[in-house]
């Protein structure tokens, strides 16, 4: 994800991600003495970096990711 964000935002990546962190859009953590807005995820021997999003902010925007299985199952 950070590689995609870097390509998409270009030179505006650092200020934009800093602003997201300041506004609480992304979730930060302290790693090796610095505050970062990404987490490392290991999957099948590879390491990926992902930017966690604050779900309260997502809900406030009106998105609903609740899974309702019976809604999609025809019977």
CA distance 46 to 56: 30
Give this prediction's pTM.
0.68
Listed in sequence order, the residues at least 6 apart from 27 whose beta carbon sits closer than 8 Å to its beta carbon are: 37, 52, 53, 54
pLDDT level of residue 52 (50, 70, 90 thresholds): very high
Give yes or no for residue 73 having a pLDDT over 90.
no
CA distance 42 to 49: 9
Mean pLDDT, range 39-47, rounded to an integer: 93
State both tokens at 36: 């970062």
pLDDT level of residue 72 (50, 70, 90 thresholds): low
Average confidence score pLDDT of the chain = 86
pLDDT level of residue 74 (50, 70, 90 thresholds): low
């Amino acid at each position: 994800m950070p590689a995609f964000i870097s390509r998409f935002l270009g030179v505006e990546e650092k200020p934009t991600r800093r602003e997201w962190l300041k506004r609480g859009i992304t979730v930060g953590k302290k790693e090796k003495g610095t505050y970062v807005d990404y987490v490392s995820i290991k999957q099948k021997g590879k390491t990926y970096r992902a930017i966690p999003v604050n779900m309260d902010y997502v809900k406030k925007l009106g998105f609903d990711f609740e899974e309702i299985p019976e809604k999609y199952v025809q019977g």
